[in-house]
Amino acid sequence: MRGIALFLSGCLCWSAAFAAAPPMALVGGTVWTGDGAAILNGVVVIEGDTILAVGPMASTPVPEGAQIISTEGMTVLPGLVDLAVQSWRLGHGNPAKADPILRPLAARVVMPWTLGVQLAAGVTTVREVGSPAATALELRRRVAEKRVPGPRLVVAAPVLERQGYPEPDATGRRTVQSVAAATAAMRQWLDDGVDAFVVAAPEEWAPEELQALVVLAHAAGRPVWAELRWGSGVAPALAAGMDGLLGLGLDTAPDWPPEALAAVQARTAAGQTVWWAPQLAPLATWQRWSVDAEPLDSPAVFQALPTLLAQDLRASWTPYSLLAPPPYAQLRSQSAGARVRALRAAGARVVTGSAAGQPALPPALALHEEIFALVSEAGLTSAEALRAATVDAAAAVGRQGVLVPGAAADIIAVRGPVLEDIGLLREVALVFAAGRRMK
């Protein structure tokens, strides 16, 4: 308990970082706005919580009295966005054991710590998916009130599904037996203030049921995403008007059902964006860490975490070989890259959702691993993967992710030419969230 008390006092000290600051100018680095060519020897001027100016040093005035921050040798780019996070789970290797312990600590200890870790990794916007709604909403309020430092929080309601989780909301999921029960739950969550909805396994719902959920959500201005269980869920999800998809499903074949890609093509041909977060990180890390789990010993994974929690977390995935792999991991790993390439060719817009919090996928590492996997497994260039994790992922939650005057000052700086070498993303040197320097 003493460790927890010290952690909480540290969070209170963080609040000083939110005090009003004079204008700041990030000067000298390569500025990648997220839309267009990089600006060599660039300048980004921040005033309050927004971007005042972006451009070359030679032609971009810096306000008198602004704080000058050198970004020489760095790449300056938009903050990272993770669209699928369970901040309260930490990546514990045994959720059945850990969940009853972590849930009561989530709002005051675990999730504030997780958000701080994500900021340090350059993540400035997070969407909670599969977290207990009341806990996530409380933390969103505390971040908005500047009582806790953290990324911008977008809160999805508990995942709606037809079977599997009889205890309401305990694990961030809700099983319903009818569309009437589903819509009643959605109305309550709308009253609570959720930002989005997620429906699992669309193939298990009747078309008119899915459409009823989408109509209710869209009438309230909220998007609805599908969490894929099988590829057969793609076509019904898009036919119902769902806005995006999470995961690649449990299919092991490299090919999608023809109707799935046809549905993507039809939506994009109609001028509608199909957002898709493939969630490659759980499979990619399982492959890598089965051979060498040393990244899980990174100090960033445990830094400032209360000692007892850190010890239990480390023990939960040591040795890594004893952890249960993701379902059908070997076969899915072999086909995942081809499946992402196919959905991109059909016109889907790939964005990043790391599944942070799943076993042995700690928040300090998860989004970087998702971005690395988009490059190594799916064949995206470094710039394409970064766009998926910044501009496009921000757009998927209705935010402006490009570094332009008037945009929110969610900015990071990475040591070295990360547009050429995505591995340099581990070297996040500066983080600004809503104009406040957090690292």
Give dist(CA 18, CA 33) in Å, integer: 25
Q: Tell me what the pLDDT averaged over the chain comes to.
A: 91
Q: What does the DSSP assignment read for 321-342?
A: GGSPPPTTHHHHHHHHHHHHHH
pLDDT of 399 higher than 50: yes
* Class of the CATH-defined domain 2-78+403-437: mainly beta
Average pLDDT score over residue span 66-78: 96
* pLDDT over 90, % of the chain: 80
The pLDDT-based confidence of 20 (bands split at 50, 70, 90) is low
Give dist(CA 110, CA 5) in Å, integer: 12
Give dist(CA 81, CA 351) in Å, integer: 9
Give dist(CA 63, CA 46) in Å, integer: 10
In this prediction, residue 96 carries a pLDDT of 86
pLDDT of 224 higher than 70: yes
Does 277 or 321 have the greater pLDDT score?
277
pLDDT of 353 higher than 80: yes
In this prediction, residue 15 carries a pLDDT of 45
Per domain, the residue ranges of the chain are: 2-78+403-437, 80-396
For residue 108, count other CB atoms closer than 10 A to its CB. 18
In this prediction, residue 99 carries a pLDDT of 87
Q: What is the dihedral of CA 219, 225, 226, 227, to 10 degrees?
A: -140
Does 2 or 401 have the greater pLDDT score?
401
pLDDT of 218 higher than 90: yes
pLDDT of 107 higher than 90: no
CATH domain 80-396 topology: TIM Barrel (3.20.20)
In this prediction, residue 168 carries a pLDDT of 52
* 85 contacts 151 by C-beta, under 8 angstroms: no
In this prediction, residue 4 carries a pLDDT of 39
In this prediction, residue 16 carries a pLDDT of 46
Q: Which among 290, 277, 306, 316 is positioned nearest to 8, based on CA atoms?
A: 306
In this prediction, residue 170 carries a pLDDT of 57
In this prediction, residue 70 carries a pLDDT of 97
Average pLDDT score over residue span 162-186: 79
In this prediction, residue 130 carries a pLDDT of 86
Average pLDDT score over residue span 54-69: 93
pLDDT of 13 higher than 50: no
In this prediction, residue 325 carries a pLDDT of 92
Does 106 or 272 have the greater pLDDT score?
272
pLDDT of 156 higher than 90: yes
In this prediction, residue 164 carries a pLDDT of 62
The pLDDT-based confidence of 18 (bands split at 50, 70, 90) is very low
In this prediction, residue 303 carries a pLDDT of 86
264-299 tens-digit pLDDT? 999 999 999 999 999 999 999 999 999 999 999 999
In this prediction, residue 332 carries a pLDDT of 94
Does 164 or 285 have the greater pLDDT score?
285
Give dist(CA 293, CA 344) in Å, integer: 31
